[in-house]
Amino acid sequence: MSTRTSTLAVAAVLALAVLAYAMGLGGQYVPTNGDELVYIHIARLTAEAGHWLPLVSDLPSMRNTKPPLLFWQALWAGDWGQQWTLLALRLPSLGYTLLTAGLVGAVTWRIRPNRATALLAAALFLGFFSTFRYGRPYLTSAPETFWLTLPMLVFIWKMNRFSDEAKAFSATTNIAISGWMMGFTGLCWGLGLAYKSFALIAPTAAATGLGLLLIQGRHGTGDPHPGAVLLRVSAQVLPPVLMALGIFALWFALDPDPRAVWQEFVIGENVGKMGDKQGWWHEALRGGGSSLWVQGIAYLENAGMLFPLVAGGLAVAWRGRHRATVSALSPAVCVLLAWLLVWWAVFMLPSQRSARYVIPAMPALAILLALVWDRMAHGWFVAVLAVNVLVILILARIGWVMVELGIANPSQAAVLWVVWLLWLTVILLGLFHAPATRSAALAAPLLFYLCFGLLTAPLDGAQGRYPPTALKPGQTLGVPSNFNAQWERFEFLLPGQRLRPYNMADVASPDAQALLQTRLREFDAVVWLQTQDGEAPPCLPHCQVVATRWVVKERHKSGDITWANLWRPQEWLFTREWLLQQRRLPP
């Protein structure tokens, strides 16, 4: 494939990525963290209170669970409640993600001045499932990823005026953090901490320090003594650290209740994650979601369907371990490797571990993969396409069932099938035409994201929403909730109502009929879920169905989805939700 053709192919894939990310941004079923609605709840009540601080919540145990900058972003985006839509709240996150992708591409071009490689790095970053899942919702990793990564990328840009193959630097080479760079770094780090947590200063500063150590200790021609190098690097990293922590500490100075901030955020949200009631080793080795084994493959997990390429990139590094010593690596690659290694190692330490904690290192991974793209074996790209074959079959079956159930209309189904056929064509082209394999492996996951957006679109239409006139404004509405603030979604589905959550376990209770009757007497209307296909509301004929909608079942229990029923998504994926009122007898 010619250089021009390669550049055009990657540019087309990048445009596809932007389209996939914009698809359904304001929808109910954007892949997200389950806590997104908790933070939307806090932001909404804070906006209603009309002040920046303190934060407000109806959940006593969940108020100061994130620094205020996350909520202030929502106050600005939602115009203090005047434009309170999921689209408005999520747009800043998408903006941060696209800016980060642009930086990734620009820095890659600085390291290797090749347009195809630069576009490739940006597309890889957007192709990671962790970016798609956590780079768009309101509760997201996009802001801290941008602010914490920005100084590292600017530093690489600044020092990479030297060739990628440089092996030594003169004593006058500026490979340190300069004065203005210290201030810029401290400001960026501070904004990142003000979005997420002061604890992120540990991996951020340590990764930067290690990168400087690798550069100055191996490439520099100054004092070769390790202690002197360590002291010099510490003197460069410490000022930005202090500045960043000072910016974060403004929360305590501005909040009218700093004691609550200390107890709820510092102790509850951060210190509490460092220990475990049954011991650190129990949590680390027991094999659950917070084990060392799971955290060990965090980068593979975050890559999603691109995980074979991460494995392939590591294989390239392993094969070249003897000739690619630290002293032979470019300073840019030293910084990138340090960033990846430290973020991975630091989040092995808390008792609560998650692959999403290393998301701020994913831009570095995208750059490194783009740099070794041409050196990875053909089989790694075939493996990506093989994974897509499994996913495309399941997604096609779900789309078929949605048409059978009447969730998707013929025009929606037609658009979905066109994109699905395009996705299948790309997979087959990549599998059977070797020159197209690499581009196909890059495009296939992004076509999956686009198909996912088209698949959920009907659920954001008439079949998945209540009519605007279903209820008169200001009524008291009983809504089910099985997780923190999950009732907040009805603020977007039935705006203007007074929401009163009840335990969703009532729906599946043996006393469901009596519990529903009680709820109907307590509230003006009740939202109730169907538990079995074809089931009627248990209150009939003593209640009336105001409206119904299709919903996606969430938080499946173990055994709900098996190989036996995987081909029948109507049994485990879709169900009905009723909006009910007590039947009024005629006078």
What tens digit of pLDDT does each residue of 108-136 get?
999 888 999 999 999 999 999 999 999 99
Sign of the CA dihedral 143, 149, 150, 151?
A: positive
Structure tokens at 162: 């030297």
Give residue for tokens 């979005």: 195
Q: Taking all residues of the chain, what is their mean pLDDT, rounded to a whole number?
A: 86
Structure tokens at 504: 């969703």
- Express each pLDDT in 444-499 by its tens digit: 999 999 999 999 999 998 899 999 888 988 899 999 887 778 889 999 999 989 99
- Express each pLDDT in 62-111 by its tens digit: 889 899 999 999 999 999 999 999 999 999 999 999 999 999 999 999 98
Confidence tier at 441 by pLDDT (50, 70, 90): very high
Phi first, then psi: give them for residue 551, nearest 5 degrees: -130, 160
Helix (H) or strand (E) segment spanning residue 550: strand 543-552
Q: Which of 107, 246, 102 is nearest to 187 (CA)?
A: 246
Instruction: Decide the pairing of beta strands 476-481 and 525-529.
Output: parallel
Centre a 10 Å sphere on the Cβ of residue 54 and count the other Cβ atoms it contains.
18
Q: Under 8 Å CB-to-CB from 554, ≥6 apart: which residues? A: none
Query: What would the mean pLDDT of 18-42 be, rounded to a whole number?
Result: 91
CA distance 331 to 337: 10
Note whether 462 and 469 are within 8 A (CB): no
**Three-class SS of residue 266?**
helix
Query: What would the mean pLDDT of 29-52 be, rounded to a whole number?
Result: 91
How many residues does the structure list for the chain? 587
Which DSSP state fits 537?
P
Instruction: Decide the pairing of beta strands 476-481 and 498-503.
Output: parallel
Report how far apart the first and last C-alpha atoms of the chain are (Å, whole number). Answer: 80
Helix (H) or strand (E) segment spanning residue 451: helix 437-456
Residue 265 has pLDDT above 70, yes or no: yes
Q: Which of 215, 269, 209 is nearest to 67 (CA)?
A: 269
Note whether 155 and 130 are within 8 A (CB): no
What's residue 166's pLDDT? Answer: 43
Q: Under 8 Å CB-to-CB from 13, ≥6 apart: which residues? A: 123, 439, 442, 443, 446
Q: List, in sequence order, every beta strand (DSSP E) within 28-137.
A: none
- Express each pLDDT in 381-423 by its tens digit: 999 999 999 899 888 899 999 998 889 988 999 999 999 999 9
CA distance 152 to 192: 13
Residue 3 has pLDDT above 90, yes or no: no
